[in-house]
Amino acid sequence: MPLEVDYVANARSLGCEAVAAGDAEQLAAALRAARASSRATVVVCRVDPDAATPPSGAFWDLGVPRVSTDPRTERLTAEHLERAAAQRVY
């Protein structure tokens, strides 16, 4: 049986503002409030871990810079992109 974590309570216990968003409307409101706040804010959104994310043109690919005139950086970028192209989608 998986352990349920109360992320809102956890974030608040660390001094953050926190809110749970259950739908797109609540998410939009939570993001507006977070941007207006001067405090760190955690927005908790439950997701289906088995669902594929919709295409967004973005991916959490934190590789090396893609714009550089440094030869080493250019080489590392090329190697990173080559490895990324070989990754398979789950």
Give 62-85 pLDDT, tens digit per residue: 666 667 788 988 888 888 888 888
pLDDT of residue 35: 93
pTM for the whole structure: 0.54
In terms of domains, do 88 and 63 share one? yes
Where are the extended beta strands (E) located within the chain?
A: 17-21, 41-45
Q: What is the C-alpha to C-alpha distance for residues 3 and 16, in angstroms, rounded to an integer?
A: 22
Q: What is the C-alpha to C-alpha distance for residues 49 and 61, in angstroms, rounded to an integer?
A: 19
pLDDT of residue 57: 60
Q: Report which residue type is found at 46.
A: R
Tell me which H or E stretch contains 26: helix 24-36
In terms of domains, do 62 and 83 share one? yes
Range of the domain at 73: 58-90
**Residue 51 falls inside a structural domain:** no
pLDDT of residue 69: 84
Please give the tally of structural domains in the chain. 2
**Residue 41 falls inside a structural domain:** yes
**87: left (phi > 0), else alpha (psi -120 to 50), else beta?**
beta
pLDDT score of 45 more than 80: yes
